[in-house]
Structure 1
Amino acid sequence: MKEKDPLIFKASEIRESRGLELSLDPPLPFYADAFETPGTLKSLHVRLSFSVGGDSLLLSGKADIELNLECARCGAPVTRAFSDTFDEAYPDSVEYVDTRELIRETVALLAPLKVLCSGTCKGRCPMCGIDRNTSSCSCSMGKASPFGALKGLLEKPDDKGRKQ
């Protein structure tokens, strides 16, 4: 016999009990690829509260996630927690309320595009790649002129079309 999905609810049961409140930890594999940020979903906790409206079922929820990410500057592992609420209304005519996609969208929107290990992260040296938070290097990091790329335009070509 097929196991019941914990995120799909019979609308008739919600109506008969005049609502439903629950807290659960959905299986991670369905949500693991919901976000584009490189990293892994460490945990997901969801609180759902259904109420019965005049001609609809109302859902209010909250998703708490924990992500293992990489610092955008130095590549160090970073674990961060994020949380958000969501609301949805379902017409009274529905037979089942499937919350999986709504939770998936919420998880996807929670993940940041970039995360830093700290606000003072120095990143990696662009020359040698050393982590500048833990070590220093002797690479020359002279500040280049923002007009340096235009320098070649000022050179005059010789009679064969080559720049001098």
Structure 2
Amino acid sequence: MQENTPLVFKYSDIEEKGGLEIKLSPDPALYADAFERPDILKKLRLELNFSVGGDSILLEGKVYAEMQLECSRCTDPIARAFEDSFDEVYPDTLEYVDAREAVRETVALLAPIKVLCSEACKGRCLVCGINRNRQTCGCTTGNFGVFNALKDLKLGEDSKNGKKKL
């Protein structure tokens, strides 16, 4: 393992110093594969605090990220900041403390599944596609739900119990 790799620290160095506090801003491109779109993560800052215990090292980490997301309704770009923390324990049997996976997992879980530019977002017209926050259109929007096709389904009656059947 390479000693100069970011987020990989020599166990004995941390132990000798009685712990370690470090702040760094790794290249967001290192975590591009953690997201559906590789350009989501714009800035990343980490605060790592290593504490030495009897037979282990505790890592308490904080992740601060700025992301360029897309509104789930109107698809406008949205810049948002997120932060989260994590804890990891590393046994004294290791030669190196590798924080890369703990940081990667935390970064990957930062982005919400759905994000809105505002609670009042009107989204896009399902017919013509214009952003209804900026313009209005004359389209008639019917029910485009997934069960819309069932409205025309003809049901017959079951002669035994009087209930409708397919």
State if a TM-score over 0.5 links the two structures.
yes
TM-score bracket, shorter-length normalisation: 0.7 to 0.9
Structure 1 runs of 4+ aligned residues shifted over 4 Å read 142-148
Q: Which residue of 1 aligns with 2:160?
A: none
- Structure 2 residue aligned with 1:40: 40
Go from structure 1 to structure 2 and tell me whether the alpha carbon gap of 1:148 and 1:12 turns closer, same or farther (over 3 Å shift). closer
Partners of 1:123 and 1:133 within 8 A in 2: yes
- Tell which has more relative contact order, 1 or 2 (C-alpha 8 A, sep 6+): 1
Q: TM-score by structure 2 length?
A: 0.84
Question: How much identity, in percent, do the aligned residues show?
Answer: 56
Q: Which runs of 5+ in 2 are unaligned?
A: 157-166
Q: Which residue of structure 1 aligns with residue 11 of structure 2?
A: 11
- RMSD between aligned residues: 2.3
Contact 1:31/1:104 (8 A) holds in 2: yes
Which runs of 5 or more residues in structure 1 are unaligned?
156-164
Counterpart position of 2:117: 117
Paired position in structure 1 for 2:154: 153
Mapping of residues 48-127 of structure 1, within 5 Å = 48-127=48-127
Q: Check the 8 A contact 1:58/1:87 in 2, yes or no.
A: yes
- How far apart are the structure 1 equivalents of 2:144 and 2:92? 65
Normalising to structure 1: TM-score of the pair? 0.85
Which residue identity does 2:152 align to in structure 1?
Answer: K
Cα distance in structure 2, aligned partners of 1:129 and 1:12: 59
Paired letter, 1:26: P
* Distance in structure 2 (CA, Å) of the matches to 1:72 and 1:154: 37
Q: Is the alpha carbon distance of 1:94 and 1:54 closer, same or farther for their aligned partners in structure 2, counting shifts above 3 Å?
A: same
Q: How many residues matched?
A: 154
How big is each residue's C-alpha offset from its partner over 1:43-93, in whole Å with a ceiling of 9 and x where there is no partner? 110000001001101100100111111111111011111110000000011
**What's the offset of the Cα at 1:37?**
6.3
Contact 2:24 2:47 in 1 (8 A): yes
